[in-house]
Homo-oligomer: A and B are copies of this chain.
Amino acid sequence: MAIVTDRKPRQRNPRGQGEKLRDDIIEAASDLLADPASPPLTLRAVARGVGVAATSVYLHFDDVASLILAVAERRFGELAKQQDLALDGVVDPAERMRAGCLAYCEFGLAHPGNYQVMFVTQSEPLMAIPVEQMPGYAVFERLVDEVAAYQGLAPDAPEAFVTATIIWQQLHGIVSLRISRRRFPWPPLEPTVTDAITRILGAPTQ
């Protein structure tokens, strides 16, 4: 994506809409991070991508780490939306599990570079956030709820939490291994996801 050359002139936002630049910066950073093998993100590269002076990034972000955190949060929001779409109108708990997990993997593999950023190792801004506000926490909570529904448990049952954790680990393994070992002879995605979660969940207990 986006080499040095794209310097569309970009005209200044009208009064009262200065926050629009924040959005543009996040999108430019996403683009630069789209390739999973992309070099470390720099503030100046982002500014070039937006078509703005390097100093303008400071108007909205303290540093590169905060910007990367914002990218991660936005992408998790999009992942949640994709899952909403995939689950819309689906009522069977087993089918909901399958559809939600598949949507997770498909999203991750469709945005490999951004997926990596979503699970980047702790930066200072990330460590300052309480665990329930961590990027991706809502996605995990949804998974716990789906597991509880599938297994006929209360949403706060410890067993649902444990099972959801194992599924999350599985989905994350599926996505991140396929990103980092592209030449491995991976089986097709959909049967793998179905097979794995079927093994982990066992038969439904409803």
Contacts and interface: CB of A to CB of B under 8 A. Distances in A.
Interface of A: 36-37, 40, 112, 116, 119-123, 127, 131, 134, 162, 165-166, 168-174, 176-177, 179-187, 192, 195-196, 199-200, 202
Contacts of A173: 168-174, 176
B170 A169 contact: yes
Contact of A176 (B37, B122, B172, B199): B172
Nearest to A184: B131
A169 B174 contact: yes
Nearest to A124: B37
A133 to B, nearest CB: 11
B127 A183 contact: yes
Specify the main secondary structure of chain A where it touches its partner: helix
A198 to B, nearest CB: 10
Nearest to A201: B199
A118 to B, nearest CB: 9
Given A121-B36, A176-B176, A195 B166 contact: yes
13 contacts: A37-B122, A119-B180, A120-B180, A127-B183, A131-B183, A131-B185, A134-B181, A162-B187, A165-B187, A168-B177, A172-B177, A199-B200, A199-B202
